[in-house]
Amino acid sequence: MLVERGLQAMNVELVSEAYAIAANYLRRSGAIPDSLVTDERLLGIILKLLQQGEFNKIRLANVAIARFQAKSEARAVA
């Protein structure tokens, strides 16, 4: 399904699947709480990657996980 967001059409299913993969991993690792609430930071990373032209859901999830963890570690050090 495509949804208009501003002037760009976004594949909601792709974003949803990539988010589910990344969130599941991060919940199991303890990086985000085990709740039904969407982590806005993780979703933002995925949307940014999609806007940059990444359309592979596994790659979207893996890169989002890596960036999420890197930002979390940077916040913990600061």
Provide the residue ranges of all domains of the chain, joining segments of one domain with +.
Answer: 2-77
Whole-number pLDDT of residue 76: 77
Largest CA distance in the chain: 41
Whole-number pLDDT of residue 7: 39
For the chain, strand residue ranges (E) read 2-5, 8-11
Output the pTM of the full model: 0.83
Q: pLDDT by residue (tens digit) across 23-75?
A: 999 999 999 999 989 999 999 999 999 999 999 999 999 999 999 999 888 87
Q: Which of 7, 23, 6 is nearest to 15 (CA)?
A: 23
What is the C-alpha separation between 32 and 52, in angstroms, rounded? Answer: 25
Close Cβ partners of 50 (under 8 Å, ≥ 6 residues apart): 10, 11, 14, 15, 60
Whole-number pLDDT of residue 77: 75
